[in-house]
Amino acid sequence: QLQLVESGGGLVQPGGSLRLSCKAPGFTLTSYAIAWFRQAPGKEREAVSCISVSRGTDYAEAVKGRFRTVRDAAGNTVYLQMNDLKPEDTAVYYCSGNWNPRSPICTLQPNYNYWGQGTQVTVTS
């Protein structure tokens, strides 16, 4: 069973940057579409970004131009690079995955079978 583990969250000032990591101990993620979601207190979970097995990406409007999702060369880790962070980016961030070795695209719909436990990102001055 694939288990996803996020790391890299923390406290940052507005305008700062963080890089989140998503790994699956004992697995490579090369055949999995991976997506990032977030949930702020009192709000519903929302999509942030996704990356397909062929490295195609998609982003929510709220983060376009500021966030970037990439895979490392070995295929073991998916990163969410977050720049120019804003207080409204404060949330628990989750990575999620689906076995999808043939699709060149990914989805921002929460139709993912595997989910991590989340990592807290707090943006405040």
pLDDT average, residue stretch 96-103: 91
Q: Which residues contact 99 (CB under 8 A, 6 or more apart)?
A: 2, 31, 32, 113
pLDDT average, residue stretch 21-45: 96
pLDDT at position 103 is 87
Max distance between CA atoms of the chain, in angstroms, equals 44
Whether the pLDDT of residue 77 is over 90: the answer is yes
Q: How confident is the model at residue 18 (pLDDT cuts 50, 70, 90)?
A: very high
pLDDT at position 75 is 86
Whole-number Cα distances in Å, 5 to 86, 92, 95, 97: 24, 13, 8, 11
Q: How confident is the model at residue 104 (pLDDT cuts 50, 70, 90)?
A: confident
